Amino acid sequence: MRIQKSFAQAAGTLYLVPTPIGNLEDMTFRAVKTLQTVELIASEDTRNTQKLLNHFEVKTPQKSLHEHNYNERIPELLTFLKNGNSIAQVSDAGMPSISDPGHELVVACIEENIPVVALPGATAGMTALIASGLAPQPFYFYGFLQRKKSTQKKELTELKNQTATLIFYESPHRVKETVKNILEVFGNREVVVCRELTKLYEEYLRGTAEELLDYLSEHSLKGECCLLVSGAVEIEVDEVFTGSLKEQVELLIEEGQAPKEAIKTVAKRHDLKKQDVYKEYHEL
C-alpha cells in the first residue's frame, strides 16, 4: 500500500507532460511552465522535442529515453530525481506511455516512492472517439494491432465479443488490410477512420466496414490513423459439447447425419483429424 501526496514537495518529481499531436496550440500553459521549470526533460526523440522547445522558448536540457535505451537510462534518471531534481517526460506526440515509451520509468519511480504527476492534455484516442459518432462509453483502447495477418486476426477474434467501442492506432499503409481483417472477423460493423488529427487536413471517414474497404481500395491515406469500431451487439457464445467423441457421433447420426458426415462434423468442432474420431467411434 502506497499513498502519494503529489504536491507535498516541489522537487524530485517525475512529471508526465503530453505534447501536441499536431496543432502546437494544443500545448497547455501548465505543460509549457512545467517544461521550463524542471531540471531535465526525458524525451523519446531529443531532435523532435527540440523543435517544440524552440517554439515555446524552453531552454531546459534534454536526455533521450526510448525503447532502446531505457534499461541503461532509468537508473541514471532515478539518481537524478533522488537528488531533489525534477524531470518532465515527453513522447514525440500525445501522452507518454500510450503506445509510446514511458511506462518503465513510471513503474521504477513508484517502486522508489518518487512522486509521479501526470498533466492532462492531447491524446489521439479520446479526441477521435468523442467526434466519431460511435458510443463514447464504454470504450476499449487497444493501441496498435500486430502487423502479421494471422496474429492480427487472432487478436481481433479475442476482441470480437467486446461490447465497448474499440480504439486502435494504425499506420496509413496498413489501415486497408486492418479494415479487411475487421470485416472478416467482426462482420460489417460501423467503422470510423480519423487521420491527421488536429492538423489542417484532419479527416473523418465514417461508414460500415464494407463501405470503408471500398473507399480504401480506391484512395490511399496519409498521416497516422485512429481506427474506431463499434462494439458487438450480439455476443457469440462457444457451443459446449458433452459426451465422448463416440457419443457425439452417435447423436449426430440419430439426428439424421450419415456416419461419415457425423465423424467429419465432430472432428471439425474439436479441431481433430477425422481418422482420430473414426478410430474412437469404431473403438479401434
| Four-point Cα dihedral 76, 79, 83, 88, nearest 10 | 50
Pairing relation of β-strands 203-208 and 190-195?
antiparallel
How many alpha carbons fall within 13 Å on the CB side of residue 82? 12
Res 277: pLDDT:
84
Residues 98 and 142: their CA atoms lie apart, in Å, by 10
- With b meaning 16 or more CB within 10 Å and e meaning fewer, what string describes 140-178? ebbeebeeeeeebbeebeebeebebbbbbbbebeebbeb
Label residue 236 by pLDDT band (50, 70, 90). Answer: low
Res 194: pLDDT:
97
Report the mean per-residue pLDDT for the chain: 91
Res 240: pLDDT:
66
22-65 pLDDT, tens digit per residue, is 999 999 999 999 999 999 999 999 999 999 999 999 999 999 99
Average pLDDT (188-208) is 96
260, 249 Cβ separation under 8 angstroms: no
